[in-house]
Structure formats: C-alpha cells, structure tokens
Structure 1
C-alpha cells in the first residue's frame, strides 16, 4: 500500500503531512522509465504550448 495513497502527500506515524513534489513514491516505482519519459514529454509539450499562447496574448495577437 502506498504511504500517500496517490495524494502526493506522505503521512508520517504521528499524522503530520509532509508535502512531496511529484508522484507518490510507490506509484513511481510501478511504472517503467519509458512511461516516465513519455509523461515528462507530455508535460513539457503542454508547458511549451501554454508559454506560446501567453506570448501571443502578450503581443496582442490573441483576444
């Protein structure tokens, strides 16, 4: 069972939350390096598109 149950927050023994950036540790252990790369590339592409749209909007080319 995952310590953070897919929430991205790991709970220690006394119930205090420690925030974790990224996927839950055990979830990440269950995927292949290729899947990690594919997901990373998808995020990068979304960020590039968001940045492109922001620059177009800043330039006044998008309403």
Structure 2
C-alpha cells in the first residue's frame, strides 16, 4: 500500500515538474507583435472538453 502511494506521489511530482518546465519554455517564445493579428475561436469536441475537465478534477483531488 505504501509503495503504491509513493509511486503515485512520484508520478504526480514528475507531472507537475514537466508542466512547470514546459510552461517556462512557452513563455520564453517570442510572440508576434503585429497589431492586425487577432485571436480565433477554436471549437473543441464535447468529449475532449469533458475529458480535460475530469482530468483536471482528478488531479486536484489527488
């Protein structure tokens, strides 16, 4: 039981570390500064929205 909990905590820690590391590299990328460029709305399938929401809730619960 303790080994499963330890393994789960290592996996969660690794996920958090990778998320922070990828966020840092994403902010270092240069953004285009053209004033005519605007954001476009991208429609996502309902299944993907539900999956991401449930995954987020599971991570918060962990």
TM-score (norm 1): 0.45
Q: Which has the higher helix share?
A: 2
Q: Which has the higher strand share?
A: 1
By relative contact order (CA 8 Å, sep 6+), the higher-ranking structure is 1
TM-score (norm 2): 0.46
